[in-house]
Structure 1
Amino acid sequence: MLSQLPVTDCKELKIPAPWGYISGRWYGNRLERPILALHGFRDNLGTFDRLVPLLPDHVGVLCIDLPGHGRSSPLPLGVRYDVYNDVFLIPRIMKHFGWEKVSLMGHSLGAFYSFIYATLAPDTVDMVICIDCVLLPKFDVDIALESFRRNLDQHMIQEEILASGNLREPPSYTVPKMEMALANGSLGSVTPELAQHLLHRQVKESGLNPKSFYFSTDRRIRFYNYWDISAELGADMARGVGKKPFLIIKASMSPFLGPHTDKAISILAQDNPHFEFYEVDSGTHHVHLQIPEECAKYMSPFIQYHRPPSRAASYQGKL
């Protein structure tokens, strides 16, 4: 049986960036390069709370909060949150730590980032794990354009509020109401009971209402700028990944992996002995948070094989 990462063996850290810092939590082995874990849209690194401790203990896992999420710094005024800009966090973090290679694990939007980076710089990637996403879902053109216009307008409104300096405390709620709001916002993918794993990094105590809290993430992240990648472009990008170790976990109750990803996944799998694909029954989009044991039973052997223990991994979780 594989040894697992102890829940308490982690270190909070801040990675400097021109706009502030990227907040992170490094689980386990800090003697060698970890797996870099990227969360999904409007989530934070707490999304991996229940999964990471189930993974092999010989390799560390560095989970980060994307800019404006969790405890990371928001982007400066005048800079929009953009899906494709976030991809460049990966080489920024690599440069900070002096890594020549990176092992990637992502959920949802974080999985999309992992896929994109692996297509752009495959020689620097040694392993990719995508949880319930490879390409973003396909959007109707008219809906996409209307969404873009609306997000642009709303983003400008939030920028004007921030620039004015006339800030008021956002609406605050009791913890049960916040848990329910997060569950509803995830369309039932996260239950109120599991919401605590995301809330603990993105709320602050109200100064106006006792025993109440408000969401502290940058409100501009609701208006992310992104365009979906067509199935054809996704397929061309997949060809650039080559025969890299690539694991995809699909949640059976989620639409995030479907016909729009079939061609890209087929190319990733073609003549690749290191490609693996598994579907987890009864899994929602946050399958790694909902039933992490089912994900870990596929992920742990994959990690063990492609990132086997080294001599430095005589590490026993006592740093």
Structure 2
Amino acid sequence: MVFKMAKEVLIKVGYGNIAYKVWGDNSPSAQKFLGVHGWLDNAGSFDPLMPYFQNQGRCVACLDLPGHGLSSHHPQGIPYSHASDIQAMRSVIKDLGWQNYHLLGHSMGAMRSQMYALCWASEVISVLNLDAVIMPIEHISPGKTPFEALGKQVDKYLGYRDTYHGKAREHTWDELAQRWLAAVPDLGLDNFTVLMERGSTKLANGMYVFNRDPALHNRTNAVLGHSTKEIFSCMQKLGHIPQIVLSSSNFGSFTKDCPELADTVDKFLHALSEIYPNKMEIINVGGSHHFHMHTPKETSDILNKFLAHVPHNDSS
């Protein structure tokens, strides 16, 4: 089930546009939520959740991160990074005129939401994390400093930049689905179709192209990869922000190529919750990485139960 009553918005950000969609009335009394999708997904990732989550008198704005969905691609030769995503999130918040709000993130979007909360802690009311947490450098790039990892990523990106010819590959609809579902088999055809509402474009010849930027496969993220000690130190400053983490059966993309990482991620997350100064609730809901699309009502029920105990700030 997809909730169709959403307003589409485009805002200019210098190099192009950031697209976002808004469910509900952006009134002073509404509880406000910014939804941030995962890597290669788009704002449609939250569509199945909205009939159960938004109809609680809330205003929910979900953006397409740069290079995703209907948002502009970076200029050719400019890589994607943590910073550009957080800048896009901030641009949407500024456009909406929000002063206090909650963050709802899935996968990469959950990591971005935690980073954002560390940047503007006085504004964020709570963080709702779906199948991801900030990961230490020793987990994401074992044996490397952030700068060594960054150097490796820059070299990879330059290899892509110097060989990419700028022409999007065309597919039939079936080929489009086969390619995506081969990479994310647990998504399923129905949810793939939801994502493709803004994740693909049909050409005049009847063929389809993905809207996402191929350069997203070559991000430069590692310079913001901090150690466990640094993450713990920063998180201890979020004294007023409750957080909840819902995890799938194996933390999704964290463990796709390294199954043994699941136990490490779980141990890190529980260690983080033990030092966190406010409420950090951890719930293993099982299922696939996109559980919020497969079981939206159950996901919403858990989030609503958590939010019932989060003070509502009406000053936004």
SS in 1 for 2:76: coil
Cross-structure match for 1:46: 44
Cross-structure match for 2:140: 138
- Code of the aligned partner of 1:220: A
How far the C-alpha of 1:259 sits from its partner, in A, is: 3.1
SS in 2 for 1:278: strand
Cross-structure match for 1:317: none
1:7-18 equivalences under 5 Å are 7-18=3-14
Taking the aligned partners of 1:155 and 1:233, their CA distance within structure 2 comes to: 33
Structure 1 residues 171, 95: closer, same or farther in 2, change over 3 A? Answer: closer
Taking the aligned partners of 2:313 and 2:269, their CA distance within structure 1 comes to: 33
Taking the aligned partners of 2:113 and 2:290, their CA distance within structure 1 comes to: 17
1:1-319 equivalences under 5 Å are 7-32=3-28, 34-57=32-55, 58-136=57-135, 138-141=140-143, 144=149, 146-158=152-164, 161-162=165-166, 168=167, 170-186=168-184, 188-207=185-204, 210-227=205-222, 228-254=225-251, 256=254, 257-268=265-276, 270=277, 272=278, 274-281=279-286, 283-306=287-310
SS in 2 for 1:135: coil
Query: Scaled by the length of structure 2, what TM-score is found?
Result: 0.83
1:109-168: per-residue Cα shift (whole Å, max 9, x none)?
11111101112221111111111111145233479565552233213433xx35xxxxx4
Aligned residue pair count: 292
Taking the aligned partners of 1:287 and 1:69, their CA distance within structure 2 comes to: 20
Taking the aligned partners of 2:84 and 2:108, their CA distance within structure 1 comes to: 12
How far the C-alpha of 1:88 sits from its partner, in A, is: 2.3
- Code of the aligned partner of 1:53: P
1:193-229: per-residue Cα shift (whole Å, max 9, x none)?
321111121212234xx44211122221221111143
Taking the aligned partners of 2:51 and 2:126, their CA distance within structure 1 comes to: 19
Structure 1 residues 292, 253: closer, same or farther in 2, change over 3 A? Answer: farther
1:232-282: per-residue Cα shift (whole Å, max 9, x none)?
2221221121131211111123254423434323322x4x2x43221102x
Structure 1 residues 183, 229: closer, same or farther in 2, change over 3 A? Answer: farther
Structure 1 residues 38, 156: closer, same or farther in 2, change over 3 A? Answer: farther
Taking the aligned partners of 1:171 and 1:56, their CA distance within structure 2 comes to: 36
1:21-40: per-residue Cα shift (whole Å, max 9, x none)?
11011012222462000011
Unaligned runs of 5+ in 1: 163-167, 313-319
Taking the aligned partners of 1:253 and 1:40, their CA distance within structure 2 comes to: 16
- Code of the aligned partner of 1:174: T
SS in 2 for 1:225: coil
Query: Scaled by the length of structure 1, what TM-score is found?
Result: 0.82
Taking the aligned partners of 2:61 and 2:217, their CA distance within structure 1 comes to: 25
SS in 1 for 2:240: coil
Taking the aligned partners of 1:248 and 1:218, their CA distance within structure 2 comes to: 29
Cross-structure match for 2:262: none
- Code of the aligned partner of 1:248: V
SS in 1 for 2:229: helix
Taking the aligned partners of 2:170 and 2:84, their CA distance within structure 1 comes to: 31
How far the C-alpha of 1:82 sits from its partner, in A, is: 0.9
SS in 2 for 1:123: coil
Structure 1 residues 141, 247: closer, same or farther in 2, change over 3 A? Answer: same
Taking the aligned partners of 2:170 and 2:37, their CA distance within structure 1 comes to: 25
Cross-structure match for 1:316: none
SS in 2 for 1:184: helix
How far the C-alpha of 1:304 sits from its partner, in A, is: 4.2
Identity of aligned residues (%): 24
How far the C-alpha of 1:77 sits from its partner, in A, is: 3.3
SS in 1 for 2:140: coil
Say whether the 8 Å CA contact 2:41–2:195 is kept in structure 1: yes
SS in 1 for 2:129: strand
Unaligned runs of 5+ in 2: 255-264
